Amino acid sequence: RKEVEQDPGPFNVPEGATVAFNCTYSNSASQSFFWYRQDCRKEPKLLMSVYSSGNEDGRFTAQLNRASQYISLLIRDSKLSDSATYLCVVNPPGNTPLVFGKGTRLSVIA
């Protein structure tokens, strides 16, 4: 089982749609979780951290289910500018590097 797995997509959605991305991780002792966004040919940028209680930032909602080792990102009212690749990122236990998923590509269409 891969350490961090994501559906690669692409997800093609119309403006205004709600879209959800899922991510699973293999190490149950992982301690912290993030969603990063990467635009084409650009560097990854932190979108939001993911907390056990779930957290929301404007149109974006992140949730964590430790029992199922599952992380989600919900985007409401999609904008054209949301088009990007969304990376699920997990911090395993101990002094080990962050593990990045391969990303889910989103295209928001006018």
Provide the binding-site residues for other proteins, judged by CB under 8 A: 31-32, 34, 41-46, 49, 87, 91, 93-103
Closest to other proteins by CB, 19 or 47? 47
Q: How far is the CB of 17 from other proteins (least distance, A)?
A: 25
Closest to other proteins by CB, 3 or 74? 3
Closest to other proteins by CB, 19 or 89? 89
Q: How far is the CB of 72 from other proteins (least distance, A)?
A: 19
> How many C-beta atoms surround the C-beta of residue 40 within 10 A?
8
Closest to other proteins by CB, 15 or 42? 42
**Using an 8 Å Cβ cutoff, are 64 and 33 in contact?**
yes
Q: How far is the CB of 45 from other proteins (least distance, A)?
A: 7
Residue 58's region, left for phi above 0, alpha for psi from -120 to 50, else beta, is left
Q: How far is the CB of 105 from other proteins (least distance, A)?
A: 10
